[in-house]
């Protein structure tokens, strides 16, 4: 795999403004616990390649070689994180050479790691790690999708949202919001997937909101267990989804012929979740409406307010405030053959993504993005993915050199301030 990019320095000059370039990796590293629970998916692999003692050095070497400034990792097993992964990543770093003849060197600090374990019995979770030489941590915000009081939300998936401050940037208050998640796998539960996504988006909207009402640049990484072009994928990119009449089994597009045609209920989730159909916390939405002068006047009759609330409850339209682009195009332009991010004995598809808020001069920028964000990100390059055929020439995944059943995604961005 190769990364095609235009290299920029951390603090080079473009006119009178400094630029800040950085790389982000998203990687589902395959929890050993889940590998062993689903051993039927890896019958094509030689047994020795599946042991954690073989896999972890390979994964760590991959991380070292790709040398991303931010790592968004999924399926990070808690005991492995505690005993090996965290310490290994924190100690990573090149030797910083001092003096004209390079005779003196000191270790350069590697990554700072934040972790959120799943809420149920499966002991894995999501981690976001960033180079302390590039960023400082403003806030770390875990998101639990399990809600004991809401029967729909009986799954233990989680997300993690960090607000990072770039070092060596010309604006002292510059910030970037990085989110990481692993949505529910079950192809037949699109209602849960959409609700989990809405909960993540609500947290991002809260964390990324700036004092002037705009959002700082946003990157969302993860294993979304949904394929390109599916309703869930389109909702992320387009910011809207009319789900009236949509079958639950078709939300993620994982199955060509989904079993069962149960239709999504309207609304999908109950009001007590506290998240609106615009995927923001309802208290925040009320504050925004007040600030924008959109709230109904107190003098209006109570029944008018009830009608408005009732119509919102019955709306089949989901929205979010972000203008997001995908780092990857999901198909090779020369052939139209699909890119693949995961491959095992049952399937080879794309379910992993890096979404970002594109700056105006980025070719992927969507119209109106400048209205929502205080700045944006320009995509400078990305790590090439492979086709299913390519992967089976090396016996699929995992293999001798790639020790997960997912491939790493990697993108280089430039922070553009408005």
pLDDT for residue 292: 56
* Whether residue 331 has pLDDT greater than 60: yes
In Å, how far are 36, 56, 207, 222, 416 from 169, measured between CA atoms? Answer: 45, 35, 20, 27, 11
pLDDT for residue 205: 98
Confidence of residue 304 (pLDDT cuts 50, 70, 90): very low
Q: Mind listing the pLDDT tens digit for each residue in 178-200?
A: 999 999 999 999 999 999 999 99
Confidence of residue 171 (pLDDT cuts 50, 70, 90): confident
244 in a structural domain: yes
* Whether residue 212 has pLDDT greater than 70: yes
* Average pLDDT estimate for 222-241: 98
Q: Is the peptide bond before 270 cis (omega within 30 degrees of 0)?
A: no
pTM of the model: 0.88
15 in a structural domain: no
Q: Are the C-beta atoms of 81 and 111 separated by less than 8 Å?
A: no
Q: What end-to-end distance do the CA atoms of the chain give, in Å? A: 34
* Average pLDDT estimate for 214-218: 97
Q: Mind listing the pLDDT tens digit for each residue in 112-161?
A: 999 999 999 999 999 999 999 999 999 999 999 999 999 999 999 999 99
* Whether residue 170 has pLDDT greater than 60: yes
pLDDT for residue 4: 52
pLDDT for residue 366: 74
112 in a structural domain: yes
178 in a structural domain: yes
* Average pLDDT estimate for 201-225: 97
* Whether residue 311 has pLDDT greater than 90: no
231 in a structural domain: yes
* Average pLDDT estimate for 205-228: 97
Q: What's the CATH code of the domain at 175?
A: 3.60.10.10
In Å, how far are 200, 237, 323, 325 from 320, measured between CA atoms? Answer: 11, 10, 9, 14
The DSSP code for 93 is -
* Average pLDDT estimate for 46-57: 98
Alpha helix segments (H runs only) across 209-294: 231-238, 282-291
* Average pLDDT estimate for 13-27: 77
* Average pLDDT estimate for 360-374: 74
pLDDT for residue 372: 74
Distance CA 280, CA 209 (A): 11
179 in a structural domain: yes
Distance CA 206, CA 203 (A): 5
* Whether residue 258 has pLDDT greater than 90: no
**What is the number of other CB atoms lying within 10 angstroms of the CB of residue 138?**
15
167 in a structural domain: yes
- What is the number of domains present in the chain? 1
346 in a structural domain: yes
Range of the domain at 372: 20-93+107-281+314-416
Task: Quote the percentage of the chain above a pLDDT of 90.
Answer: 76
> What's the whole-number average pLDDT of the chain?
88
Distance CA 176, CA 26 (A): 16
Q: Mind listing the pLDDT tens digit for each residue in 260-287?
A: 689 999 999 999 999 999 999 997 655 5
């Amino acid at each position: 795999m190769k990364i095609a990019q235009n290299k920029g320095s951390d603090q080079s000059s473009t006119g009178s403004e400094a630029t800040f370039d950085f790389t982000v990796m998203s990687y589902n590293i395959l929890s050993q616990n889940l590998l062993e629970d689903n051993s039927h998916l890896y019958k094509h692999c030689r047994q020795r390649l599946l042991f954690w003692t073989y896999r972890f050095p390979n994964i760590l070497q991959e991380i070292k070689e790709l040398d991303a400034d931010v790592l968004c990792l999924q399926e990070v097993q808690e005991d492995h994180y505690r005993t090996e992964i965290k310490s290994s990543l924190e100690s990573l770093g090149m030797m910083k050479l001092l003096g004209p003849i390079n005779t003196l060197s000191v270790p350069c600090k590697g990554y700072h790691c934040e972790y959120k374990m799943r809420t149920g019995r499966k002991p894995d979770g999501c981690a976001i790690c960033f180079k302390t030489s590039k960023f400082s941590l403003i806030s770390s915000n875990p998101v639990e999708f399990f809600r004991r009081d809401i029967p729909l939300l009986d799954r233990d998936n989680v997300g993690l949202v960090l607000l990072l401050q770039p070092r060596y940037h010309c604006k002292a208050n510059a910030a970037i919001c990085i989110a990481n998640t692993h949505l529910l796998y079950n192809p037949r539960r699109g209602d849960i997937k959409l609700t989990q996504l809405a909960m993540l988006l609500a947290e991002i909207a809260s964390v990324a909101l700036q004092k002037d009402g705009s959002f700082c640049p946003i990157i969302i990484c993860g294993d979304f267990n949904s394929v390109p072009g599916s309703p869930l994928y389109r909702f992320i990119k387009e910011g809207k989804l009319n789900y009236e009449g949509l079958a639950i089994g078709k939300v993620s597009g994982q199955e060509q012929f989904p079993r069962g045609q149960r239709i999504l209920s309207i609304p999908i989730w109950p009001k007590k979740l506290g998240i609106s159909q615009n995927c923001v916390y309802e208290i925040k939405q009320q504050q925004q409406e007040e600030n924008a002068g959109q709230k109904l006047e107190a003098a209006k009759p109570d029944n008018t307010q009830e009608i408005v609330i009732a119509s919102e409850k019955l709306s089949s339209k989901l929205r979010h405030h972000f203008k997001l682009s995908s780092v990857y195009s999901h198909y090779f332009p020369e052939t139209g053959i699909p890119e693949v991010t995961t491959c095992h004995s049952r399937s080879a598809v794309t379910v992993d993504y890096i979404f970002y808020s594109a700056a105006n001069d980025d070719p992927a920028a969507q119209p109106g993005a400048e209205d929502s964000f205080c700045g944006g990100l320009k995509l400078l390059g990305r790590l090439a993915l492979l086709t299913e055929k390519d992967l089976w020439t090396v016996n699929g995944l995992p293999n001798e050199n790639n020790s997960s059943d997912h491939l790493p995604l990697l993108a280089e961005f430039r922070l553009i301030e408005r």
